[in-house]
């Protein structure tokens, strides 16, 4: 790919969108790439139906030879995780998820992962590292990535907050919901979680289905709009 492809996918220094509907496959939720120092990490994996496109995009954005070491999953739904197994195989990356969602990935639960909604099959997926605390910190090269438990849409939903020089980037997929019994959603948890997200004061929100929302006020407005 050409340098212009990299520029097109760049959100800010260190952060790219490498997949999503309109980029990799129609059913894909957004896939983001973080690069720093000599490593790269992914946030979510899409359905897997656009695997080749995702790989092409990742390889256009990372420096040659930079390993993709981690795949951080925001939650267990098919549109975010269906592609995880193939990406893990391709890049030999470790998969990270919250333990309360990991159990449905590891059993390949078609209902709770929403795979049945997509008429798809989500074969059991091994999660290499399970988050079990309210928050946890990871280092991606020189950048700190904070995983924060954000239950509601699913029991083990996570958001990830990335501090870059000049930006607080929130990877918050499916902030908009939906809430549904099949997904084991919990409305009370969801409202508490959204209020917590407002306090993070992010100035960029990388959402799963609504693109990139820029500016503290706009991010605040977007999250607030889902709080009844
Ligand atoms: Zn979801
Ligand atoms: Zn989604």
Residue 4 has pLDDT above 80, yes or no: no
Q: Nearest bound ligand to CA 178?
A: 1
Q: Which domain holds residue 171?
A: 3-224
Per-residue pLDDT band at 122 (split at 50, 70, 90): very high
Per-residue pLDDT band at 1 (split at 50, 70, 90): very low
Backbone angles phi, psi at 5, to 5 degrees: -65, -40
pLDDT average, residue stretch 217-228: 96
The strands making up 135-140's β-sheet, listed across from edge to edge, are 135-140, 143-149, 158-164, 167-172, 204-207, 212-214
Question: How far away, in angstroms, is 37 Cα from ligand 1 center?
Answer: 31
Determine contact, residues 175/191, Cβ cutoff 8 Å. Answer: no
Question: How far away, in angstroms, is 205 Cα from ligand 2 center?
Answer: 15
Question: How far away, in angstroms, is 48 Cα from ligand 2 center?
Answer: 14
| pLDDT value, residue 60 | 93
Q: What is the pairing mode between strands 158-164 and 204-207?
A: unpaired
The fraction of the chain above a pLDDT of 70, given in percent, is: 99
Determine contact, residues 183/7, Cβ cutoff 8 Å. Answer: no
C-alpha separations of 125 from 99, 166, 177 in Å: 13, 36, 23
C-alpha separations of 113 from 13, 181, 197 in Å: 33, 12, 23
Look at the alpha carbons of 204, 207, 211, 213 in this order and tell me if their dihedral is positive or negative: negative
pLDDT in tens, 56-90: 999 999 988 999 999 999 999 999 999 999 999 99
Measured CA to CA, the distance from residue 6 to residue 8 in angstroms comes to: 5
Tell me how many domains the chain contains: 1
pTM of the model: 0.96
Residue 10 has pLDDT above 80, yes or no: yes
Domain of 174, CATH number, reads: 3.60.15.10
pLDDT average, residue stretch 128-149: 97
């Amino acid at each position: 790919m050409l340098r212009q492809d990299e520029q097109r996918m760049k959100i800010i220094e260190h952060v790219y969108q490498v997949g999503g509907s309109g980029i990799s496959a129609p059913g894909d939720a957004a896939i983001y790439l973080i690069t720093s120092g000599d490593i790269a990490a992914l946030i979510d994996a899409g359905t897997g139906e656009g695997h080749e496109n995702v790989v092409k995009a990742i390889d256009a954005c990372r420096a040659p030879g930079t390993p993709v070491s981690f795949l951080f999953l925001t939650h267990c739904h098919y549109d975010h995780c269906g592609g995880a197994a193939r990406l893990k195989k391709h890049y030999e990356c470790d998969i990270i998820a919250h333990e309360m969602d990991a159990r449905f990935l590891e059993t390949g639960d078609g209902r709770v992962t929403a795979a049945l909604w997509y008429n798809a099959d989500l074969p059991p997926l091994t999660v290499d590292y399970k988050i079990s605390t309210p928050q946890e910190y990871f280092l991606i090269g020189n950048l700190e990535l904070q995983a924060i438990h954000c239950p509601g849409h699913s029991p083990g939903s996570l958001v990830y907050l990335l501090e870059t020089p000049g930006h607080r980037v929130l990877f918050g997929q499916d902030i908009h919901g939906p809430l549904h019994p099949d997904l084991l959603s919990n409305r009370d948890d969801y409202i508490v979680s959204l209020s917590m997200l407002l306090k993070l004061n992010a100035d960029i929100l990388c959402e799963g289905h609504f693109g990139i929302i820029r500016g503290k006020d706009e991010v605040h407005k977007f999250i607030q709009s889902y709080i009844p």
